[in-house]
Chain A
Amino acid sequence: MNVQILRLLSGMSVHGDQHLAEVEKDLAQMNVLLDEAIKKLYASFMAIHQAVELQQQALISLQHDSTPLPEVAHFEALRGEISQHVGAALTGLQFQDMTRQLISRMAQHLAGLRDMCGALDADESALAAGGDEALQAMLNHLTERVDARFSGLACGLRSTVNQRHMESGDIELF
């Protein structure tokens, strides 16, 4: 019975470690993809913004020479509208900064769980000579190891992200 309990714990340790390692790998890959995506999105967005800006300037200078004033005013209004959309897009593009922070936090938790799984891996041979007392001692030892791993994780953990929307956050001047 005692050996079965230790086998169960060791099994949990090994399988838990395998599953968590896969999740960790996928999270790291997701981070790479998000990073790559945001770089491309940002570069394309900036290129479009620059092109639109140049186009607007060219159109306005053409209009000044040949067309009535209302058309120029319309282009100026459009320019203002575009500028607002650019601002909103730049606010939205900051999603990657927050997801990166959350992924980093998840990775820390996963590493902590893997560490804890590792601590569950018990040595069956230590029970060979003992009975319930040896099991009790071993379980106490395992509990201490798990607690120590948990405390270690809590110390170095990054803060979570509580934002629920991608609109501008509060500003407070002291």
Chain B
Amino acid sequence: MSKTILAVDDSGSLRQILAFSLKAAGYGVIEAVDGHDGLDKAKQQQVDMVLTDQNMPGMDGLSLIRALRKMKNYQKVPILMLTTESGDDMKAQGRAAGANGWLVKPFDPARLTEVVKKLIG
């Protein structure tokens, strides 16, 4: 059975590109439009990995990670930030919140799937 990844981004085009890239590599993809939506979907279905943007209306990526890490079944699930932000301060906040890695946009689909494979096989 294929592993499922939750892709959280308020940009529809970015979600399309993410979904295409990950599905082509054999993963199932659930899309969410912001942190709140991501949290709801993560509660509805256990996923194997979360990829989230930082700057989103409503709930941002860091808040989503903090909320997920409070849930028992998401304490060890790999979470990657995928964002335009590249500052060390933001990365440190991501790390402190419980992110497992930081990917700066734009992303290369092949490099992204390499990282995903490394984390969830």
Are chains A and B native binding partners rather than an unrelated pairing?
yes
| Chain B residues positioned under 8 Å from A171 (CB to CB) | 101-104, 111, 115
Query: How far does the Cβ of B121 sit from chain A's closest Cβ, in whole Å?
Result: 15
| B interface residues, tally (CB under 8 Å) | 33
Which residues 50-91 in A have Cβ within 8 Å of B in the complex?
86-88, 90-91
The answer to whether A97 and B14 have CB atoms under 8 Å apart is: yes
The answer to whether A87 touches B108, judged by C-beta atoms less than 8 angstroms apart, is yes
In Å, the complex CA distance between A13 and B11 comes to: 35
Interface size class of A (residues with CB under 8 A): 20 to 34
Cβ-based interface call for B95 (8 A): yes
Does B2 touch A at the CB level, under 8 Å? Answer: no
Interface string of B36-62 (1 = CB under 8 A from A): 000000000000000000110000000
Q: Which 7 A-B pairs have the closest CB atoms?
A: A169-B104, A168-B108, A94-B106, A173-B101, A97-B11, A97-B14, A38-B13
> Which residues of chain A have a CB within 8 Å of any CB of chain B?
35, 38-39, 42, 46, 86-88, 90-98, 100-101, 158-159, 161-163, 166-174
29 A-B residue pairings within 8 Å (CB atoms): A35-B12, A39-B13, A42-B13, A87-B109, A88-B108, A91-B107, A91-B108, A93-B17, A94-B14, A94-B17, A96-B13, A97-B9, A97-B11, A98-B84, A159-B84, A162-B84, A163-B104, A166-B106, A167-B106, A168-B108, A169-B103, A169-B107, A171-B101, A171-B111, A172-B101, A173-B100, A174-B94, A174-B95, A174-B100
